[in-house]
Structure 1
Amino acid sequence: MKFKNFFNTGLALVCLSLVYSCSKDDQGTPENTEGYNTKVSITDAPIDNANVQAAFITISDVNVNGKSIEGFQKTTVNISSLQNGNSELLGNLELESGTTSEITLVLDNESDASGEAPGNYILTADGEKKALVATSGIIEITDNVDIQAVENNEIVLDFDLRKAIVEGEGTGDYKFVSATELGNSIRSVNSLETGIITGSVSNMNSSDAETMVAFVYKKGTYTVSESGSENNVGFSNAVSSSSVNKASGDFELHFIEEGEYELHFASFSDTNSNGSKELEGMLDASSATAIDLQEISVEANAEITVEVVLAGLLSL
């Protein structure tokens, strides 16, 4: 009898459960809104200008998918110091897995984190502050990022100062490029999906370059017209770049998403003694190993090392 009563009671509970479930289905099944902890960091590629000691930007807000970083306070970052894999943590967000819909940076043009003007500026070699003029303080980054269903996602915002800043010809003033170009000058990637390209260059004395730069492109996207474009922003389609150490010949390219890439090397020198380094030309570079410089395969969480031999400037 006790077993029968238990069975009847259990059956009644099952029926009630089914009724409740059907009622919920009628209202629509709620989406999974579980959030995953996601860091937001910032890094940079180098700017080649002998007159520039450092570049500072002041960030007042970071917004991903309509959410601002929790507890974020206005911060001024020496963006030019964050190279060769160095990055600065801006904060954390809880984000659902999937692809981000929008990433926005808000800059303060008026004052830095200490309340001093200007908010964004170049520090010249002689210690003078030069305001970085921007047409808009809002940077809408065009890249989307895949957020994985794990707790160690990291959105890395990779500035490219070479693309983001131009110097007024003959004026000594600096400004950000147009709002559209500025958004395109910042890559956003999930560090979980990136690898590293490191390398060493030999026969450096085959070029009299004051500065040598390694540019990485997605395979098949480099053209000879890359040396200059609107606003004189050269190599605008490069994924990233790295200055080659003059003493050691070493270079590092970080936060490179999985895929096929090619490497190109350029020579820069201050040919007219104005403090800015002009492009002398592209360098004749080949691989000293079986790795083809025009077909470099990058995998997530892996490092690939290339050995490069120079043979001077390519003929124009």
Structure 2
Amino acid sequence: MLFKNLSRLGLLLGLILFVSCSEDDGMEETNTGGETNAAAVYITDSPIDESNVDAVFITVSEVKVNGKAIEGFNETTLEISSLTQGRTELLGELALKAGTTSDISLVLSETDASGNGPGNYVVTSGGEKIEIGSALEINVNDQVEIIENMQNEVVLDFDLRKSLKSDGDSYSFVSESQLESNIRAVNSMNTGIVTGSVNNTSEANGDVVVAYAYLEGAFEESETNMNGEGVNFSNAVSSSVVSDPNGEFEIHFLEEGDYELHFASYSDEDSDGKLEFTSMVEANTASNIDLSGFTVGANSEVNLQISFTGLLGL
């Protein structure tokens, strides 16, 4: 009898051990298939080429990646126009599976973080506050590659130059579909920087010079014309104002790949406080880098020493 009881006990213990091991194996497989990776979400901007605009503010009420909202996110009003030359603002952090994101959305509020309206507005050089948009959910067309076992940094480039339009003394966002196409999303781990210095900006014969980065082969003469939203150079990946008087410029968060660089001159020809495109500027470099085709690598910087040689098409 004792032998039978011991045998039954042994069988029972063996069965429990087998079930326990099976459950552990199943849990390990589930965890392996669903591992998440840390990702911080930042926002940045490319400079706006409106001389009559002092600042642009937007109010973000929610940020979602793959349908998952950043937990604990507090509605934030930020001066988006100040986030140029690689400056960013952290929106929050979340855990994401490795691979390409399926959707990224940015929700703008009609009131600011204090509950006052408007939430999204331009401040003109005369100090006037002009509303540019009410509540809006922007579903960004761009997607980002999340890298396994790395601290990922998702950067959203709002690009006000392409996202804001003016009509007389009023300002507004471009159409929702255009806005969703204009905002870039990149993983900073896969991006590089183009910096440069122009030694003779006066040759551009304008009030402002802007450097435009295009994917190699993407630039056409028609880019100098305004698109349906009133935006010149609408297919440029990013841009930078060439500072005066030292002639420096910086274009950040360019995904690794091949690019070409073009310069355009602007002047306020009719004295209305707004810059108008006047001409493309011919340029060359002091090195063997060809402005019509060069490579930007991840986590690298391409530095260009540039001379303007005159205006094109004159």
TM-score, with length taken from structure 1? 0.90
Matches for 1:76-95 after TM superposition, within 5 Å: 76-95=77-96
SS of structure 1 residue aligned to 2:148: coil
The number of residue pairs the alignment matches comes to 301
Structure 1: which 5+ runs fail to align? 1-8
The amino acid across from 1:275 in the alignment is: G
Tell me which amino acid in the other structure corresponds to 2:199: S
Matches of 2:17 and 2:63, distance apart in 1 = 47
Specify the alignment match of 1:6 in structure 2: none
Matched, 1:96 2:58: no
Looking at structure 2, the residues matched to 224 and 308 of structure 1 have their Cα atoms a distance apart, in angstroms, of 22
Q: Which amino acid aligns with 1:301?
A: N
Give the equivalent residue in structure 2 for 1:173: 170
Shift of 1:21: 4.5
Determine the structure 2 residue equivalent to 1:219. Answer: 216
Q: Give how far 1:119 is off.
A: 0.7
Residue pairs, 1:1-316, within 5 angstroms: 17=18, 21=22, 30=30, 32-109=33-110, 111-133=111-133, 137-168=136-167, 170=168, 172-227=169-224, 228-315=226-313
Local SS of the residue matching 2:254: strand
| Two-structure CA RMSD over aligned residues (Å) | 2.3
Aligned-residue offset at 1:203: 2.1
Task: Look up the SS of the partner of 1:246 in the other structure.
Answer: coil
Identity within the alignment, %: 47
Deviation of the 1:246 alpha carbon:
1.3
Alignment-mate amino acid for residue 303 of structure 1? E
1:3 corresponds in structure 2 to none
- CA displacement at 1:50 relative to structure 2: 1.5
Partner of 1:5: none
Q: Which moved more, 1:32-41 or 1:52-61?
A: 32-41
**Shift in Å, 1:163:** 0.6
| Distance in 2 between residues matched to 1:257 and 1:220, nearest whole Å | 16
Aligned-partner Cα distance in 2 for 1:22–1:175: 57
With normalisation by structure 2, the TM-score equals: 0.90
Counterparts in 2 of 1:230 and 1:17: CA distance versus 1, 3 Å: same
Structure 2: gaps spanning 5 or more residues = 1-9
Query: What amino acid is aligned across from residue 300 of structure 1 in structure 2?
Result: A
The one-letter amino acid paired with 1:220 is G
Number of the residue aligned with 1:4: none
Aligned counterparts of 2:140 and 2:90: Cα–Cα separation in 1: 18
**SS of alignment partner, residue 179 of structure 2:** helix
Deviating 4+ runs (over 6 angstroms): 22-25
Deviation at 1:173, TM superposition (A): 0.5
The residue type equivalent to 1:205 in the other structure is S
- In 2, Cα distance between the equivalents of 1:177 and 1:298? 30
SS in 1 for 2:116: coil
What amino acid maps onto 2:35 in structure 1? E
What is the CA deviation profile of residues 245-265 of structure 1, one whole-angstrom value per residue up to 9, with x for unaligned ones? Answer: 111111001011100000000
Cα distance in 2 between the residues matched to 1:41 and 1:253: 17
Cα-to-partner distance string for 1:76-135 (whole Å, 9 max, x where unaligned): 0100000000000000011111110000001012x100111101000011111000035x
How far apart, in 1, do the equivalents of 2:40 and 2:116 lie?
A: 28
CA drift at 1:156: 0.2
State the alpha-carbon separation in 2 of the partners of residues 233 and 217 from structure 1.
15
Distance between the aligned counterparts of 1:287 and 1:180, measured in 2?
Answer: 38
